[in-house]
Structure 1
């Protein structure tokens, strides 16, 4: 079948990411003797400079790793927790809000990305933090090539920056703002990372001591202090249409470090799929695959309407359970063992019929009654759609400009693997902190303002994130690192790719290039938390006959653009020692490199 580029093949190492510069930075580290952990960290920090509308230094970053030396896999949770003063009483009671806004300072969590990358480097890497940060600092100081989409995002935010967020205006609108296909520098960001390196190196020559010193500087030193001052001194316009102060403090920062956990997993034939825990949406992909084990997908056309129908209906059931039962397992009892069990899955699978379901149908694992308000989500989506159709300048006035995500995979010649999905801290999230050169994230918008719900807001809890890297083993041997941007679509596009590889023999690039789809049936994790029952979006390259057949089953089908669904990266390592990688051509940014 046609692919936009070859599947990269090598034996020395491969890197795949959502931006060609980050991919080449990672490869440069491998070429200079670094391992996959060094390379992923260098690529990750570079992505903060190359794609500031998709991730930033104060964002989030869950990471799954395979350590060839120990033969073990682990998750580094770069998802920070709710500040001590962010309570339901404060947001709902004192401020009178029904939802946490999607922008501004109020939804800021403890930023997790830096400690996740630092933990990866400390525990598995061989390079110093200064060596790893050299690339990001150089690009931030001298300038990095900006694709048109970044410039368009800045221009979309211009009215809000000029009227309400002056620190962002000073950073992003200086000299007219970034121009497409030109270099753009962020000197303040470069200075921040230079200071982090200086404080790291002041700890002596020991690599681990330097990294721990940098972590202290970030979470207990000048970075945390700058964040605490900025949040305390500013009241800013956010997506609610009102100005609010944030509550994140330097003390919240000092109390947190990225936890390291075991991944959750599901066996699908001889393939074991690894995901982050129920503080992410990752297990919804595992539930989807468990449901689909009961169908002969290999006998179906991977581009056909029945394949789409079965996958969509399985995802509807899995994501309904995500909404009803997932939350931070350190604080709530999530019945994940039951949700992935054969008995529960068999009963749920029986709900998949030949017609599309327009109902929202979470289950009752262990007899637990689901508590959701689907009707309210449907109404919020309707109201948001009407407001957009009326020409109301929502984005300009409120800054309700959505962000997205990045991804990076690395596999080295020793067999180490990394799958990481950095996001948050977008330039459109909240006002820039002047002395740092970047802004806080807004992941708190994913909490519900009912602390009795599994994903209800409480101080110290992780919001249930959509960020969802993945890894797979075949016959017990680490096989593939993969992932994608896409919010709710991350655990839709990933199983589609994987199923086409496992059942239909697609290689990574074929599976990435093939037209994909998604549904918006369940409750969105993002403000304003809407739902669109039965909606299925097919990539434009699908045959119109597929759309008509799905419509005949009751799906509410929309056709998207020709290259709009799926932004995946993937690297697999086969038994003969070959490392094979693919990357997304959509958006003309992602690339895989290797030799």
Structure 2
């Protein structure tokens, strides 16, 4: 295997993220004397600026971390809940049978900004000014626009000119789409950050006092007021082809605080693998491990037909359980312990044979009856090209000629570790430039995670006021002997826990270093319905990078898989950091896919 990059090693610290500027900002915090949590917050704020097509302050983020001082792993949930006005009746009264994937109807409370502040307050050491200054600088002075962001703006330019005027003022330059690589600025966002910082510092000299004041400025101050005013008084065109006012209010923002939660974990090959809870899809990674424990993957050989078939069939079973059982545990009885039970997974494993399964087969933990909501056929897109793009709830804008062959990546990720053993992984997302119009005066859009909730009542992920819709965001933390050993994540929506699983198995079972594991052949199943509108699925389909050997592809097809080759280096952008405490070394790796993820270590 020829690598495109080396595994980076050092003794001081490491950062790996989906944008080189975010990685550099994170390392600057470590160089300043901050810890991994400070670095993660700075990188997270920079990602909100330099990857506007994938995330923003109005989006969401799960953050999983290990604090070396306490020896404890925890999760900060930056997935905001649905508004109190978001009832099934509210959508049915509008003539809707599903929650649209764009506009303001699917907006949840923006969770990302508050989650980063909480991480800084509880685990960081630097001031708000120190960690937010790089993001302010890029928003005010400019950054090089990524090609994918430029493509999205170009396709959506008619929408920005004709309907979403504030988005036009934010992303168009003299009414025209900016060129890829050009210097892009967002002065309104810079002003928003600067005002939050001014109000925070005016509250007092204490670090924690300032952070809490920043939260108040966003969630009960001028930011919340601007959101409330815009959604209350403006009808906004969305994916339905009609205009609607939003359901989110300033009161929804004011009553929310990001919770800190215990992780969900599973012991595998002597390691403790930690994920966010079932309000995310995180436990599906653990379920796949529980199923795979019954197979000798090493004997099969990495990327052999046996290996690819087995991993894919286990993914189908685990994801089927995700569809039937996952949801906000504050509102539903989610049987996570039963789903991870070894006896349960031993029985589930018996469903796997040498043929590709064609049906969605959720299990019955604790003897419960699984429930899969009915999938209606996708509503045909209509109107202009931008309207077709809005009908898909993913952030990416894919030209029609590529729609069937190119992977639809989305989201951002970042990972950090420091010389003390503190380690963080996060997957910021939501509030992207395609999701909804920019809020006047703020420089950012709201997220649309509400599209992932069902209007089908009785399901664990059914819509309810104040409830978190199940998210696809899913960072991973791995411990051994009471210390952090590995943290990783990737963009990719539903595919996150398939692409990161391939990385993890290559590292654990086949001994590949982090960079080699990142660069292994990537593949995923399209068997389970997408979490994004219009919730399409392709039973038995495997998307796999074209460098898969022809004999392996032929054998997979013989077993009944619908193999759909995609361009090489197109599936995912896994970023990872790790540590070897016994050797005193820190490691980092970043995927070459997308040509923008970079790791730094020293």
1:213-232 Cα shifts (integer Å, max 9, x gaps): 00011101000000000111
Contact kept, 8 Å, 1:270 with 1:475, in 2: the verdict is no
Per-residue deviation, residues 98-119 of structure 1 (Å, max 9, x unmatched): 1100000000000100110000
Q: Deviation digits for residues 382-439 of structure 1, max 9, x if unmatched?
A: x66xx6xxx9645346633631200000001111001010000001110011210011
Of residues 415, 430, 433 in structure 1, which corresponds to 2:436?
Answer: 430
The correspondence for 1:456, drawn from 457, 462, 471, is 462
What is aligned with 1:83? 83
1:285 pairs with 2:285: yes
How far is 1:178 from its partner?
2.3
* TM-aligned CA deviation for residue 357 of structure 1: 0.3
1:107-126 alignment runs, 5 A limit: 107-126=106-125
The partner residue of 1:399 within 380, 390, 393 is 390
What's 1:421 paired with? 427
1:577 matched to which residue of 2? 584
Aligned to 1:340: 340
Q: Does residue 513 of structure 2 align to residue 507 of structure 1? A: yes
Q: Secondary structure at the match of 1:62?
A: strand
| Residue number in structure 1 paired with 2:451 | 445
CA contact (8 A) 1:160 1:399 kept: no
Tell me, in whole angstroms, the C-alpha distance in 1 between the residues paired with 2:141 and 2:119: 27
TM-score (norm 2): 0.95
| Alignment of 1:18 onto 2:48 | no
Distance 2:520 2:337 in 1: 33
1:550 aligns with 2:556: yes
User: Which residue pairs with 1:536 in the alignment?
Assistant: 542
* SS of structure 2 residue aligned to 1:587: helix
2:154 counterpart of 1:155 = yes
Deviation at 1:197, TM superposition (A): 0.3
- Which string of whole-angstrom CA distances, capped at 9 and with x for unpartnered residues, describes residues 492-539 of structure 1? 011111011111011111011111101110111001112211111011
Partner of 2:593, secondary structure, is: coil
Contact 1:538–1:547 (CA<8 Å) still a contact in 2? Answer: no
**How far has the Cα of 1:163 moved from its partner?**
2.2
Gaps of 5+ in 1: none
Question: In structure 1, what is the Cα distance between the partners aligned to 2:37 and 2:134?
Answer: 15
- In 2, Cα distance between the equivalents of 1:165 and 1:483? 32
Match of 1:276 in 2: 276
RMSD: 1.3
Residue in 1 that maps onto 2:407: none
Alignment of 1:375-386 (within 5 A): 376=375, 379-380=377-378
Q: Name the residue aligned to 2:487.
A: 481
Tell me whether 1:568 sits opposite 2:552 in the alignment. no
SS in 2 for 1:372: coil
CA contact (8 A) 1:273 1:471 kept: yes
> In structure 2, what is the Cα distance between the partners aligned to 1:349 and 1:393?
47
Q: Is the 8 A contact 2:521 2:545 kept in 1?
A: yes
**Residues 64 and 276 in structure 1, CA contact (< 8 A), matched pair in contact too:** yes
Matched residue, 1:327 = 327
Deviations 1:118-166 (A, max 9, x none): 0000001111111111000011000011121111110111122222211
* SS class of match (1:457): coil
Corresponding residue of 1:254: 254
TM-score of the pair, normalised by structure 1: 0.97
Describe the SS at the equivalent of 1:193. Answer: helix
The alpha-carbon distance between structure 1 residues 9 and 400, as it changes in their structure 2 partners (threshold 3 A), is: same
The whole-number CA distance in structure 2 between the counterparts of 1:543 and 1:522 is 25
Partner of 1:135: 134
- The answer to whether structure 1 residue 164 and structure 2 residue 163 are counterparts is yes
Matched, 1:590 2:588: no
Query: For 1:318, what is the secondary structure of its paired residue?
Result: helix
Task: Give, in whole Å, the separation in 1 of the partners of 2:385 and 2:319.
Answer: 29
CA deviations over 1:325-356 (Å, ceiling 9, x no partner): 11000111011111000111111000011100
Can you list the C-alpha shifts for 1:559-589, whole angstroms capped at 9, x where unaligned? 0001111210011101211001100111110
* 2:78 counterpart SS class: coil
**Corresponding position of 2:8:** 8
Quote the offset at 1:57 in angstroms. 0.6
Q: Distance in 2 between the 1:7 and 1:190 partners?
A: 35
Does the CA contact (< 8 Å) of 1:479 and 1:573 recur in 2?
yes
- Following superposition, the deviation at residue 233 of structure 1 comes to 1.4
Query: SS of the residue aligned with 2:594?
Result: coil
**Alpha-carbon distance in structure 2 between the residues aligned to 1:523 and 1:283:** 17
The answer to whether the Cα contact below 8 Å between 1:445 and 1:526 also exists between their aligned partners in 2 is yes
Q: Deviations over 1:451-478 (max 9, x none)?
A: 3210000001100000001000124431
Whether the 8 Å contact between 1:394 and 1:400 is mirrored in structure 2 is no
Cα distance between partner residues in 1 of 2:503 and 2:514: 8
Matched residue, 2:65: 65
* Distance in 2, Cα, partners of 1:246 & 1:543: 50
Quote the offset at 1:44 in angstroms.
0.4
Cα contact 2:279–2:329 (8 A) shared by 1? yes
Checking the alignment, whether the CA contact within 8 Å between 1:44 and 1:408 is kept in structure 2 is: yes
Return the alpha-carbon distance in structure 1 between the equivalents of residues 355 and 389 of structure 2. Answer: 40
Of residues 106-115 and 229-238 in structure 1, the stretch that sits farther from structure 2 once superposed is 229-238
For residues 398 and 282 of structure 1, the distance between their equivalents in structure 2, rounded to whole angstroms, comes to 28
Aligned residues: 585
Cα distance in 1 for partners of 2:290, 2:315 equals 10
Q: Distance in 2 between matches of 1:331 and 1:463?
A: 11
CA offsets per residue over residues 340-380 of structure 1, 9 Å max, x none?
00111111000011100001000111121111146x35x43
Helix, strand or coil at the partner of 2:48: helix
2-structure distance, mates of 1:229, 1:269: 53
